[in-house]
Amino acid sequence: MLKYFMPNEYIPSVFDLNLEDLHERKIKGIITDLDNTLVEWDRPEATPELLDWMYFVKQQGFQVTIVSNNNKARVSTFSEPTGIKFIHSAKKPMGRAFRKACKQMGLKKSEVVVIGDQVMTDVFGGNRAGFYTILVVPVAESDGAFTKINRKVERRVLKRLKEKGLIQWEESN
C-alpha cells in the first residue's frame, strides 16, 4: 500500500522539470495540479515566470492539462487566459479525472506524467491510475482548509516512508 504514496520523482518546482529527459522517455503530456503546484492557492492568475514556462513547455511539444480539485470558477479564471486545458472538481485521488485528461490529450498513460504538490491527492491518485508521478515542493507555506487536513496525514505517510528508507529527500513542511 505504501508504494502508492511514493512519487517516481521529487523536484523542487515545475521549473526544475527536465523536459529533455521527458522527451527521451517519449512523454508527450503533462497533467499538473494547480494550487500550490503552479501558483499559490490564493493567487488567481499565473505569474509572468509561469506564463513563460508554460509557453516554453508547449513550444517543446508537450500538451498540458490542469487537473484540480478546486471549483470551476477558480480553475477557469486561472486556466483560460493561459490557454491551458483543465478539469475542475476532479475528486483526486480518484483516478477518473487523470484518465479523462489523458484521453482528452489523445495520449496513452505511458506518454503522460502527473505533477503535484500533495502526496495524498496528486501522487496517490496518479500512481493508482497508473501514471508516472512527480512530487514538487508546495509554492506556498500556507494551504486552504481541506489541504491542511491532507498535509497532516501526508506528514505521517512521508515519515513512515523515510523510516523505511524509501525516500531520500527532506520533508519541507
Its pTM stands at 0.85
pLDDT at site 87: 98
Who wins on pLDDT, 120 or 125?
Answer: 125
pLDDT in tens, 87-96: 999 999 999 9
Task: Check if the beta carbon of residue 77 is closer than 8 Å to that of residue 44.
Answer: yes
Q: State the Cα–Cα distance between residues 136 and 114, nearest whole angstrom.
A: 11
Neighbours of 105 (CB within 10 A): 19
Phi then psi for residue 31, to 5 deg, are: -100, 125
Q: State the Cα–Cα distance between residues 54 and 65, nearest whole angstrom.
A: 11
- Peptide bond just before 12 cis, omega within 30 deg: no
- 102, 73, 99: which is closest to 88 by C-alpha? 73
Domains of the chain: 2-163 (3.40.50.1000)
% residues pLDDT > 70 (the chain) = 91
Q: Is the pLDDT of residue 79 over 80?
A: yes
